[in-house]
Amino acid sequence: MTYFRAVKVLDQVINKAWVAYTLTNAGVIRPTRPDKLARIALTLQRWGPTPAAGYTAAAIRYPDEIAIIDELGTLTFADVHRRTNALANAFRDQGIGEGDGVAILCRNHRGFIDATVACSKIGAHALFLNTMFAAPQVTDVVTREKPVAIVYDEEFSEMVKDAGKGRKRFIAWFDGPEKPDCSVVEDLVAEGDDSDLEPPQEKGRVVILTSGTTGTPKGATRSQPESLDPAASFFSKIPLRARENWMVAAPMFHSWGFAHFSLGMGLAATLVLRRKFDPELTLSDAAQHECTVLAVVPVMLQRILELGDETIAKYDLEALRCIDASGSALPGELATRVMDAFGDKLYNLYGSTEVAWATIATPEDLRAAPGTAGRPPRGTVVRIYDEHGKEVADGDTGRIFVGNEMLFEGYSGGGNKDVIDGLMSTGDVGHFDASGRLFVDGRDDEMIVSGGENVFPREVEDLLADHPKVDEVAVVGVEDEKFGQRLAAFVVAKDGLSEDEIRMHVKQNLAGYKVPRDVEFLDELPRNATGKVLKRDLVKSGDDD
């Protein structure tokens, strides 16, 4: 054996040992009765790392433990396994099979999980639709993706009226006293054959839509990872543990909520779900069920803090160990306020639908450098390139590229992200500080040139977010006859803040060409379901002015 071959083998052994140690520490690997262990091993071998395997294995190991808590009550792992068997068999009886697409337009509740796992059990592809879409967006996406069926909550009936034509339709949740006219998931579950299915020849995929803040959302096709290494990397940064209660407030149709759904399967976590986010009810649920994990998007944290100290103090959150945030930018000022209120339990993941995760900021990172996106976890490579594809020097700003085992397979409608040296673009620009922490400076298509100077709106946003009279802010570039482009600031502020104060605050801290020429005060910023600001709408508003 050559020296280099020996080093490679040693690295593989060390990595396997590290993965085993991390998964054991998280509780994925734990003492189990030999007969159950054999059945679980066979399940994983037959089904691979899929939702079908996750709940089948959990039903073997923890049949009578609670898997889901939602507004209808509780379900055990054995319940979920039987329900998804019945639904999968009902789907097959309806002619849905391997390789077919099933669109899922559901809020966070058992029906979302039923539909997703049932698709996995028959090898169908699950297409997750955004619950904040308008009817034309649903129609556009469904026309492009061509699913054969749509599973949706009754409240979205009008939204899918056109999209559902010629497709099978199933209601996953309804509130009224009368049952809807089309098939109801609960009836299919109750009446269906709940016997086990044979694994499909080809595993079903999930298609998660991009956020669509700048145009029509694209479908990002993702298969399941080939190893447990990504899960181990995640657990090494964010200390999730097996058989604990997780409050998943982030929408599960989005990458961040879906990540907690997926990781929760591997850890046999109890998922606490509520269909619509309410800041106080979220705290109440987390306290009542002694949740150790709260998965949110940053705007949810803002809404929780707005409850005030007296309301927050009403709820015993002593069990809470991890507040997991992702999905949009986390301002440093907000991170500090959250940790001051709840303790140093905040973790911020930076990534995208296409690359999964790039970096994770721990509470230590956020205290030392508020606003940071953190460092890459093990197995992930992050590099910053200039416009010519050359890696930039430390501290310089450039385009962020990521490599890991979780990169998506391409857009379902065709096309891909830019790739350099095997690493994929996130679409953002940023820089590393002297300690190796990543800072995201903004979208690479948001940079404006004002009077010949390059300006990233994110830098101005972060500065204004720290102002004591500013609750929320978004800064965009708009057209300008004299300078080419200019900055416009849209501010949600406390009473008494003036436009001149905003401009003076920027002028005292940043270069003069970064001072917003336009300042507009709003009651709230326009956002999508995951909390990302719809800057396209703000640009239109600024241009109209």
Q: List, for residues 184-195, the tens digit of each pLDDT value.
A: 999 999 999 999
Q: What span, in angstroms and rounded, lies between the C-alpha atoms of 176 and 150? A: 20
**Residue 407 belongs to some domain of the structure:** no
User: Which residue shows structure tokens 């399940």?
Assistant: 43
At residue 4, the pLDDT reads 57
- CATH number of the domain that 507 lies in? 3.30.300.30
Q: Mean pLDDT of all residues in the chain?
A: 90
476 is a domain residue: yes
User: Does 401 map to a domain?
Assistant: no
The answer as to whether 270 is a domain residue is no
Per-residue pLDDT band at 151 (split at 50, 70, 90): very high
Residue range 394-418: mean pLDDT, rounded: 83
pLDDT per position as a tens digit, 12-39: 777 788 878 888 888 887 888 889 989 9
How much of the chain exceeds pLDDT 70, in percent?
A: 94
Residue type, 20: A
Q: Which alpha helices (DSSP H) does 343-482 contain, by range? A: 363-368, 457-465
Q: d(Cα 151, Cα 110) in Å, to the nearest integer?
A: 12
- When pLDDT is cut at 50, 70 and 90, the band that residue 214 belongs to is very low
Judge whether residue 274 has pLDDT over 80. Answer: yes
Higher per-residue pLDDT: 218 or 380: 380
Q: 338 in a domain, yes or no? A: no
Band of residue 111 on the pLDDT scale cut at 50, 70, 90: very high
Q: Do the domain assignments include residue 152?
A: no
Domain of 479, in residue numbers: 448-544
Place of tokens 């599973």: 151
Instruction: Report residue 200 CA to chain centroid gap.
Output: 27
Please check whether residue 472 lies inside any domain of the structure: yes
Q: How many domains does the chain have?
A: 1
Three-class DSSP category at 60: helix
Between residues 18 and 149, the one the model is more confident about: 149
User: Per the domain annotation, does 477 fall within a domain?
Assistant: yes
Least reliable range by pLDDT among 22-26, 156-160, 287-291 = 22-26
Q: Which DSSP helix (H) or strand (E) runs through 234?
A: helix 229-237
